[in-house]
Amino acid sequence: MMYRKGEVSYQPLPLPDRVQLDDARSLAAAEAFLAYMRKRHSVRDYSTRPVPEAVIAACIAAAGTAPSGANHQPWHFVAIGDPAMKARIREGAEEEERAFYAGGAGDEWLAALEPIGTGVSKPHLTEAPWLIVVFAQRYGMTGDGARYKNYYVPESVGIAVGLLIAAIHHAGLVCLEHTPNPMKFLGPMCGRPEHEKPVMILPVGYPADGATVPAVAKRKKPLDEIMSIFRG
């Protein structure tokens, strides 16, 4: 629960968890993490193997460690394992997708999606053992009902989702980043207030034996295209 304005003041603490490596170990750790993250894939084909709720909770807790604007943590994660609820979400998502692929997206957008192999049907929304719906909070509320402004909401939630995806991969699971557009029904269905906006659904589970990924998904920009460096 957020504190009210004026209830706390700045108090510096000694760095509580210092993780410090020598140069060689630092490089080895970074390269090992890179190699492991290169094994991460967005997957649409899921096994029926169940995933313990505790694993999902731990992944969401990792996402909650993300930095955020003014430390307001403007996010909420709804984990859904109920088959009937997942079916309702799939029905609503596919209804919106039909309008999207019928022309709402525009030719250029649809052409960009063609190599990915997406379409109206979203079986992963019911086949995955869990769905995690990510909500962004436009503003926050204190325990006594006072409203406060959140800052850098898209940036903060984006960082948290990145940590969530990394945590899911680290747990040996796979997920898919489904972006609602706008899927306003998710708020009432998930019991969330009007000031929270659904920004992503992550189906989470183990990959099916015959799982595939689009070949184009393996094409990543080289380092010299995504990094500029100015040496001192």
Which pLDDT belongs to residue 146?
86
Do 207 and 168 touch, CB atoms closer than 8 A?
A: no
Which pLDDT belongs to residue 71?
94
| Strand boundaries in 44-189, DSSP class E | 75-80, 130-137, 139-141, 147-149, 174-175
Return the closest-CA partner of residue 50 out of 124, 126, 128. 128
Mean pLDDT along residues 145-149: 89
Q: What is the mean pLDDT of the chain?
A: 94
pTM over 0.85: yes
Question: How does DSSP assign 151-168, residue by residue?
Answer: BSHHHHHHHHHHHHHHHH
- Condensed to tens digits (0 to 9), the pLDDT of residues 91-133 reads 999 999 998 888 888 889 899 999 999 999 999 999 999 999 9
Q: Which residue segments constitute the domains of the chain, with CATH numbers given?
A: 45-86+123-208 (3.40.109.10)
What percent of the chain clears pLDDT 70, i.e. is strictly above it? 97
Which pLDDT belongs to residue 2?
64
